[in-house]
Structure 1
């Protein structure tokens, strides 16, 4: 026998299943099964099934139902005294089986049973109370299961589920602790710490209480664990450099510059020492590869490096200034009083590193460069070739000490031919390690033959000889892929990008990349991303055949351009798809299922796309710029936004594509506007207006963007531009454009204080957004209505509008605008004299702002003033 009380009541007896549905028989059976084995009195049965106001003949009706039920399921229900009892093994009832599974630690199985509400078809006070009590049991089981999953490392998968629970039960500290653990375990340390602050503020505001000891202990642990740990993995093996390590140990906090020729091991020394000295810097280690000697355009700008450091230090994006000097000052503030190590790897010149030097007493900076940089008060550490004994030991650690001891003369030959350069020894050692059956002397002779043409003092020639020797051992497809990797425009490449470069299947490319990694010709610093030393890249580029260079680079640029379009459309779904060419044969075009996936790809590929734009066809170039425009804007990379849009406009000027040129001129105007270069912004938009001659929708979009440039004291002028845009959108029948313009007019009238007109336009546009199903458009319109009603003193209507605005912004996933709507909702309650709901709305705005990394000072001030 099997009985179900989750959802509708059913019984399976002797292979026959009976679904009772929302019948009185089902309700009667359900209430008896909930208390299986216990006697339920007749009066209690009536109240459970019929409620606390039963009809006059309730007892007679109950007797009839009991008789029918006992006929349907003979032997199940017995009369005992003045009541009735179900005689059945409790484990045959899903509710009691659930409880047994929870008691025995099998929570996953238990939760699989409870997919529907307890007695969902019965709506009486007793049933509602029973459901509420079981909801507590179910929540406890879910949280027990969450603990199990956290212990097994399922942090990322748990975050969405715990976020929902935290929103439903914002004062539950166990849920809060689990969400904080899950966020931190997912690599989202800043969000974890912000959620703790949100919970602490809510507990203080609503209960006047401090977090529990468990939550405080967790917070202290995460504060320590969340210090930035950006160092690459320690190099293995590492040999020698005892004098240099001692010098680094003895250097006081300040700036140390390690200089030396390419391949001599500057980065290896810096990273090895940094890991060895990590205890000196408990507040974190910052690292950036500045790619100063990589391919053209791959060097990291000081501004980008600063943004990476500020992000690692959990500085909210909203607090970061747009100018380099302001960002550098903010970095100094963020590092003040902290013992932090900063490694600036592969710097090209002083101009690249000077803005990154915080000059704070407890921050220590290690710079590596091929050039003799001389920052003020810096300690210089020139790095020469490895001493002979250290070079022999490094090679032995690569090929095996037993093998090295057996052929000391061959070891000496390899060391000499590798010029005692660690990079050359690593490559040659990898070559020897892949052929353990070969005598080392044979490989040494081959290396010597290859190097016969080289001048003994020419380090570069020695390196080329070693690289050539290792390439001889590659399979023909592996050698071809290595040659082509020298063409990649950025500092690294994805698996899909490498497959497109080679014109091969992804699986085949993956195998070839593994072959190159075994030969120590490339590295995989993170899963799916591949890079190689810039000297190896230069050598690979020299090997690339003229007959394959152009087609291979075109395939890679096709991959970047077309994949970036897919990412751009998923990141901003409201954008119109630009016309794109068919991909060349062999090109992999990646698709994206979620906005988060698209954003991650755009962020990772941002430096590569910026470098690639200079190498693409005009079409490839502008498509990459178009794809980057929104993400660079929202991530506040305003310098790259301007550069990318300038390059894109120049590319489009070579094409007969008025629509594309108009789009990019609008983006260029926006980029100039972000940098407060309003004259150039206006000029770009006016040119876009001319380009769109004969295209009323395009010209209308330009007019709306010009309106956005107008400051508050020129709101009337902005309104005129918006009206002209509306007229053009109406002329061409563009309903989406009309809705945008009407929304702009409603907002503008509100800014001008003409609140009745704002209401008129908002009510006019609302049905349009609703017909389109455009959630954010509806949210903005509700927001405009709220502001207008507030301005008119219609507080009840304003509260309703802002509440709707909050709901729609939440549905649309716009955290900053949801936070702003909550703040205005709080303002409305305060204006109406309702202090408690005002505090609650401001508190929620504060939490959302903290979660989004936005400034919170204004809302905090309102909360503080209300408390006083």
Structure 2
């Protein structure tokens, strides 16, 4: 039987619903249900139902109504010493269920219950007081729920609700703080500042008070302490282009598109001007090389560029939506009131850049492209060949001004043969600079003697002539490496990747890369990573030895796949390492000692790994997909996660290995879930379950993943899936799997508020983790115990459990889990009444979160509240 006291009083049984309406019988039942399980005296009943001045024979009337109520609902109302009591589980009454849901952190479900006024049909003084007290209780729950949503990164969609709430409660500092957080979180910092100032003025005028420390502290943190500075190093030397620089200075704020042929210096101009103009954009400079004209598969997608920008702007990953339109809108919100310069380099078409254009009044965008892009309201700046005097000055800066003045005719000839293209002049100048003892005329003669690929006025022909000349000066080994580098599917490559490509050791490869850099055929934008202009890359690919191409590319893909597995294991040590083939001869497989080293490699190689997938063998594809699964998930690269896992599933299907297919399908299910395709996720996991037929451990793992798909309102289903998984793990004797399942059951019962059951499972699994020597498993179990003890009102036991979980997570090297456990340890200290210990725990949680790059806002708010 279930009862309602919100709105009109009603009772629901298997036979139907009894609506009591605004009757004395309903009033009597309602006042008893409000205190379900507690004895209410006869006098209290009279006062609650009939008011402070009841009519004559009030007690007799009440007795009559009680008799009728007992007849209507037999066995519900009992007589006890001094009064009456309803014999019902309080959680069967919507008011008490509301309070239980709030206590256990399920405020969304609680708020859904309280849609109507408490005891709406009763207007006695007692009922009015109850409604007023519950209204405050309801407001607190609503504000708690809003805080939770803000902590999750939801900002823009909460602004209307919080504005309305702030209008009704203009002096409520908690509401003011929430509105300020929401406005600032969606990039409307100016409005957030204005609201703070408005609230501060009202507090002073109406109450003669200053804002609280918490609200003042929030105001001080409205503006970030640092702005993104993503521009690459300015080109050195940079010569000329005075007219174009002036045009960029004078262009109206908005979008400028620099167009011109390959090698004409578009990027150099854009980056040089951006450094000069940086002070005009104090909120930061954003830059991305879109690689629109690089090798197939190397172009940066709009979604990837958006993720880079949002990360640079400190937008929490949890706030980033899955779809491109949502990400684009979030970028606009983040830049709404910021003065930022954005450089979109090497764009290929409008589709690639349109999602990146914020169209905000203070953001200025500079685009470079070989095609005549025409975004709405854009200013076009065509870039032609260098004027002759500027071309001569650029060459002189490369070879030395004294040398240039000594041979002016040779300078003119080199400039002509380089078609006044900055890229060609840089390569030719580097060639001359390596041989300072040779007369410059010799270089000019060599260029003049080269066979033309087309007419002299053909820009591509001139570039190829210069490239050919510079390559003739390379050692045979460097020339071979240069040709092989043209085969790389990504836009850049690491030292170990280059060594694998060439089949050489690291030291020899490093020396050859340095030779190519000195010849200006290769750049090293950051230590250990190498790239080159896409025109040079295309030319290099033509030089790759025909009989080595396939083997060289296979070695590179082997390096990426096998090193990727090593990185994936170091990044998530608890994953089962997949079987890997022996590396091909000459392949360098890097090892990793720490989680941080693995993360750095996976981050740097992410574009290369994604570009490699279409070229890899089925084994390499499946391994690369496995390697990327966790890092792309944790860093919210959900579109790439889905692509990688779809390819991995297809590859695993070709290999015919059920275990590999099952594992790939589990990862695919996770990817579908992350992009909001819950039905596809369920279907992928069901396929995984079928693939693991005859493999109980595999099927059990799938069931645990299906349990993870269950939302909060379906935790019961999650428990059933986990129990089935546990039974299968027990059937095949998989102790690790059993421990995982038991840990999942403990956590599920914590989420259900069934704390005693959670403790039972946690105590059952603890010796298993210890026997397995699994530090992280022990840490999770201590954490579950702490949460359960805290839920049962045992703060001392919770403090002990959370202290142990912190120790284990720290030993296991998981900073995120350690930070969360330290925060909960502070909660336990606070519940125990030890404010100083709580503050110390929360401060350490902030420190660990900061080191791990995690949001600190929720913990800081606890510190502010404790300090008031």
What TM-score, normalized by structure 2, do the two folds share? 0.71
Post-superposition offset of 1:828: 4.4
Post-superposition offset of 1:257: 0.8
1:545 match: 545
Alignment gaps of 5+ in structure 2: 1-211, 214-219
CA gap 1:391/1:590 in 2 versus in 1, 3 angstroms: same
CA gap 1:864/1:477 in 2 versus in 1, 3 angstroms: closer
Within a 5 Å distance, the mapping from 1:477-556 to structure 2 comes to 477-556=477-556
Correspondence 1:357 to 2:357: yes
Distance in 1 (CA, whole Å) between partners of 2:670 and 2:809 is 24
CA gap 1:711/1:670 in 2 versus in 1, 3 angstroms: same
After superposition, what is the alpha-carbon deviation per residue over 1:783-820, rounded to whole angstroms, capped at 9, x for unaligned? 22223233333343333323322332333333333343
Q: Indicate the larger mover: 548-557 or 836-845.
A: 836-845
Post-superposition offset of 1:298: 1.0
Correspondence 1:621 to 2:613: no
1:779 match: 779
Post-superposition offset of 1:604: 0.4
Distance in 2 (CA, whole Å) between partners of 1:555 and 1:624 is 14
Distance in 2 (CA, whole Å) between partners of 1:840 and 1:589 is 44
Post-superposition offset of 1:850: 5.1
1:294 match: 294
2:426 match: 426
Post-superposition offset of 1:683: 0.9
CA gap 1:233/1:856 in 2 versus in 1, 3 angstroms: closer
Post-superposition offset of 1:849: 4.5
Distance in 1 (CA, whole Å) between partners of 2:473 and 2:860 is 66
After superposition, what is the alpha-carbon deviation per residue over 1:305-344, rounded to whole angstroms, capped at 9, x for unaligned? 2222232233333343333333333333443443322211
1:467 and 1:536 in contact (8 A); partners too: yes
Post-superposition offset of 1:560: 0.9
Distance in 2 (CA, whole Å) between partners of 1:526 and 1:850 is 25
CA gap 1:324/1:456 in 2 versus in 1, 3 angstroms: same
Distance in 2 (CA, whole Å) between partners of 1:236 and 1:833 is 62
Distance in 1 (CA, whole Å) between partners of 2:400 and 2:827 is 73
After superposition, what is the alpha-carbon deviation per residue over 1:115-158, rounded to whole angstroms, capped at 9, x for unaligned? xxxxxxxxxxxxxxxxxxxxxxxxxxxxxxxxxxxxxxxxxxxx
Within a 5 Å distance, the mapping from 1:127-276 to structure 2 comes to 226-276=226-276
Distance in 2 (CA, whole Å) between partners of 1:762 and 1:330 is 41
Q: Indicate the larger mover: 668-677 or 769-778.
A: 769-778
After superposition, what is the alpha-carbon deviation per residue over 1:509-545, rounded to whole angstroms, capped at 9, x for unaligned? 1111111111111111111111000000001112222
2:344 match: 344
Distance in 2 (CA, whole Å) between partners of 1:558 and 1:800 is 48
1:724 match: 724
Distance in 2 (CA, whole Å) between partners of 1:822 and 1:402 is 66
Distance in 1 (CA, whole Å) between partners of 2:300 and 2:508 is 32
Within a 5 Å distance, the mapping from 1:292-331 to structure 2 comes to 292-331=292-331
Post-superposition offset of 1:369: 0.7
CA gap 1:832/1:223 in 2 versus in 1, 3 angstroms: closer
CA gap 1:749/1:860 in 2 versus in 1, 3 angstroms: same
Post-superposition offset of 1:379: 1.1
CA RMSD of aligned residues (A): 2.6
CA gap 1:863/1:482 in 2 versus in 1, 3 angstroms: closer
1:318 and 1:854 in contact (8 A); partners too: no
CA gap 1:683/1:247 in 2 versus in 1, 3 angstroms: same
After superposition, what is the alpha-carbon deviation per residue over 1:522-577, rounded to whole angstroms, capped at 9, x for unaligned? 11111111100000000111222221100111111111111111111111111222
CA gap 1:857/1:475 in 2 versus in 1, 3 angstroms: closer
1:404 and 1:411 in contact (8 A); partners too: yes
2:452 and 2:461 in contact (8 A); partners too: no
2:480 and 2:545 in contact (8 A); partners too: no
Distance in 2 (CA, whole Å) between partners of 1:693 and 1:851 is 44
1:769 match: 769
2:207 match: none
Within a 5 Å distance, the mapping from 1:789-808 to structure 2 comes to 789-808=789-808
Distance in 1 (CA, whole Å) between partners of 2:744 and 2:236 is 60
Q: Secondary structure at the match of 2:548?
A: helix
Q: Secondary structure at the match of 1:640?
A: helix
Q: Secondary structure at the match of 2:343?
A: strand
1:287 and 1:342 in contact (8 A); partners too: yes
1:811 match: 811
Q: Indicate the larger mover: 519-528 or 279-288.
A: 279-288
What TM-score, normalized by structure 1, do the two folds share? 0.71
Post-superposition offset of 1:471: 1.1
Distance in 2 (CA, whole Å) between partners of 1:498 and 1:843 is 45
CA gap 1:841/1:259 in 2 versus in 1, 3 angstroms: same
2:44 match: none
After superposition, what is the alpha-carbon deviation per residue over 1:564-595, rounded to whole angstroms, capped at 9, x for unaligned? 11111111111222111111111111111211
Distance in 2 (CA, whole Å) between partners of 1:865 and 1:493 is 50
CA gap 1:766/1:425 in 2 versus in 1, 3 angstroms: same
CA gap 1:818/1:343 in 2 versus in 1, 3 angstroms: same
Within a 5 Å distance, the mapping from 1:596-675 to structure 2 comes to 596-675=596-675
Post-superposition offset of 1:451: 4.2
Post-superposition offset of 1:833: 5.8
Post-superposition offset of 1:715: 1.6
1:819 and 1:849 in contact (8 A); partners too: yes
Q: Secondary structure at the match of 1:524?
A: strand
CA gap 1:503/1:823 in 2 versus in 1, 3 angstroms: closer
2:89 match: none
CA gap 1:655/1:865 in 2 versus in 1, 3 angstroms: same
Post-superposition offset of 1:364: 1.9
CA gap 1:801/1:402 in 2 versus in 1, 3 angstroms: closer
1:451 and 1:462 in contact (8 A); partners too: no
Post-superposition offset of 1:295: 0.9
Q: Secondary structure at the match of 2:547?
A: helix
Q: Indicate the larger mover: 608-617 or 425-434.
A: 425-434
Within a 5 Å distance, the mapping from 1:709-720 to structure 2 comes to 709-720=709-720
Post-superposition offset of 1:853: 4.5
Distance in 1 (CA, whole Å) between partners of 2:617 and 2:462 is 37
Q: Secondary structure at the match of 2:466?
A: helix
CA gap 1:835/1:596 in 2 versus in 1, 3 angstroms: closer
2:91 match: none
1:633 and 1:641 in contact (8 A); partners too: yes
